[in-house]
Amino acid sequence: MSDRDRPQSADGLVVICTRNRPKDLAKALAAIGSTAPALEVLVADASDHDHIGLVNDVVRGHPHTIMLTCRPGLARQRNQALEWVSIERPETPYVHFIDDDTEVLPGYFDAVVTMFLARPEVAGVGGVVLNHPRPRHTRIKALFLLYGRKPGRVLPSGRLTIGHYPGDEAEVPQCLPGCAMSYRWAHIRERRFDDRLEGYSYGEDLYFSFSLHHDYPLTIAREARVLHSFSETNRLSRNRVAADRVALLHRFVRENRRYGLRLSAFWWSVLGDMALKLLDGIAHADLDSIRESGAILRSSWLTFLSPLPASIERAAPKRTDS
C-alpha cells in the first residue's frame, strides 16, 4: 500500500499483536471493521510456520490491514510495532493496542478519541472490559495487599486493583488494561515496553503504563467498551503464570521503590496469595488451586535465593535504535 493509497485517519492506528490465533484475529478484525471501517490496523504477527499462511489469509481479507512479521514475545512484538509506527506512520496521533482475543464494541474508538480531544493532557486512555470476572474475597485480599478500595491503583505490594470494570472505572488510573489501551503517540514515541520480558511477557502492560503515568495522566473512557475472551491458544498454565508473577513482580517492586512500592508488602501479598489459593483449593477440592499454591511457594523460594537482576534505568525503557 502506497502513502497515496493508505487511509489518513485522525483517529490513529490500531496495533494487534498475535501468535498462532487466526480465528481470534479474524473476530478482532471483524469487530474493528464494523465499528471503524476506515481505521488502519497493523497486525504484529509472530506465528509459527504452520499458522503464518492462515494469519496472512485473515489479514488479506480485511482492508486497511498491514502484516508485520515479528519475533515471538508480546513485549517484543509491541516494540517492533512501535518501531514500525515511528518509521512508517510518525504523523499518527494515537496508537490503539487491542489484543487478538478482544472484540471492540460500537463506539469504542469514538469514545477514546473524544477523551483524548477533551483532555489534551492525557497520554493514555483505557477501555472498559465488560466480561472480566469480578474478584472474590476482596476483604481478605485487601488485608494481604492483593486488592484495594481505589480502582486503577498499584498497591505497595506491586499488585493492581482493577480499574476497568463497568461501574467502577478509574478516573485517574496508574495503569491501563493491556487488552484495550490507547496512547497519544507524541507522549510514547520515545518509550518502549520492557524488552527483558519474553513469551507471555507477564505485566508488560502494567510496567509500561505505570511508568508513563508518573509523567502524564491516564484515564478510562467509560463508553469505550470491549469483550475480552481469553483465548486458550498459547496461554500459559495457571502454575506457570503464578510462578512468573512472583519473580517478575519482585523485580518490579524493587525497581519502583521510589514510588512507594515495598518488598515487605510484596512478600506479605505472596504469603496471602499462596494461603488463599491453598484454602480455596481444599474447600472446593480444586487440585489446580492447590498446585498453583505450590507453584507460588517454589517460585518464592527461587526468587528469594536468586532474584532477577534489576535496574532502575530499565524501569522505563526508552526507544533504542536498531
The pLDDT, as a whole number, for residue 317 is 56
User: What are the two backbone dihedrals, phi and then psi, of residue 91, each rounded to the nearest 5 degrees?
Assistant: -90, -5
The pLDDT, as a whole number, for residue 1 is 40
The pLDDT, as a whole number, for residue 238 is 85
Q: Could you count the other beta carbons within 10 Å of the beta carbon of residue 106? A: 13
What CATH architecture is 13-130+166-228? Alpha-Beta Complex (3.90)
> Distance (Å, rounded) from C-alpha 165 to C-alpha 209?
18
Longest dimension (CA), the chain: 63
What's the pTM?
A: 0.92
Residues of the chain with CATH 3.90.550.10: 13-130+166-228
> Distance (Å, rounded) from C-alpha 169 to C-alpha 152?
8
> Distance (Å, rounded) from C-alpha 317 to C-alpha 301?
28
| pLDDT tens for the chain, residues 1 to 322 | 434 344 457 899 999 999 999 999 999 999 999 999 999 999 999 999 999 999 999 999 999 999 999 999 999 999 999 999 999 999 999 999 999 999 999 999 999 999 999 999 999 999 999 999 899 899 999 999 999 999 999 999 999 999 999 999 999 999 999 999 999 999 999 999 998 998 788 899 999 999 999 999 999 999 999 999 877 776 668 888 999 999 999 999 999 999 999 999 999 999 999 999 999 999 999 999 999 999 999 999 999 999 999 875 454 455 555 4
Provide the CB-side half-sphere exposure for 243 (13 A, CA): 13
Contacts of 109 (CB under 8 A, 6+ apart): 11, 12, 35, 36, 39, 96, 224
The pLDDT, as a whole number, for residue 9 is 73
Rounded (5°) CA angle 93-99-100:
120
